[in-house]
Amino acid sequence: MSVQERKQRERAERERLIVATARELAEQQGWDAVTTRRLAERIEYSQPVLYSHFRGKREIIGAVALEGAAEMAAAVRAAASSANSPRERVAALARAYLDFAARNPAVYDALFQLDGGLAFADEDTPEPLKDAFAALLESLGEVAGDGVHPGLFTEVFWASLHGLATLTRAGRLPPEDIEPRVELLVDRLAMV
């Protein structure tokens, strides 16, 4: 291995450490607790080293969001792949999405609530975000219905899931009613 390759590997490892530490701190104490000073202390590098990877907290949030988008896409695909019918796929997708949001609140915030400097629904949208949407579209497109654009249907279904996740987490909807909400969403919106 050349010196250059070793330096690149070490840089990538530091970057993963920064992102993992930011994510861990955000999940434990919220995003307000994530500061470059605190991250530098936790990873035992100086702030200039941290700034050599990320220009600031916004870029760190974006990196956490991209990592989370890949994880969410994998979770949704895994859930949908184990189902035997379109209805089961849509219900499994909805449960996996809501479960991901509940288990990873800081990551979910990085994806959909905070400014991570990422473009959505644009040609500059990073690939992990496009893939997360594609993971939803793969199952939802088949149930969009005649004359309904699959992408538009996926956006509306996703918006419904996001609303359920956000309102439940905020205590506006009782968490014990998640399953009846999923069933209603699948039966009435997806009509499968």
Average pLDDT over residues 56-72: 97
| Residue 178 contacts residue 160 (beta carbons within 8 Å) | no
With bands split at pLDDT 50, 70 and 90, how would you rate the model's confidence at 180?
A: very high
Confidence at residue 192, expressed as pLDDT on a 0 to 100 scale: 67
> So what's the pLDDT on residue 53?
94
pLDDT of residue 188: 87
| Average pLDDT rounded to a whole number, residues 156-179 | 96
**Beta-carbon-side half-sphere exposure of residue 61 (alpha carbons within 13 Å):** 22
Helical residues (DSSP H) of the chain, grouped into ranges: 3-29, 36-43, 47-53, 57-81, 86-103, 105-112, 127-140, 150-169, 178-184
| pLDDT band at residue 3 under the 50/70/90 scheme | confident
Question: Residue 7 CB: number of other CB atoms within 10 A?
Answer: 10
Average pLDDT over residues 47-59: 94
**pLDDT tens digits, residue range 95-105?**
999 999 999 99
Instruction: State pTM to two decimals.
Output: 0.93
Q: Determine phi and psi for 100, rounding to 5 degrees.
A: -60, -45
User: What is the per-residue pLDDT across 113-138, written as a single tens digit (0 to 9) for each?
Assistant: 999 999 998 999 999 999 999 999 99
- Counting residues of the chain whose pLDDT is more than 90, the rounded percentage is 91
> Could you tell me what percent of the chain has a pLDDT over 70?
99
DSSP state of 123: T
Contact predicate 52/40, CB 8 Å: no
- 190 or 30, which is more confident? 30
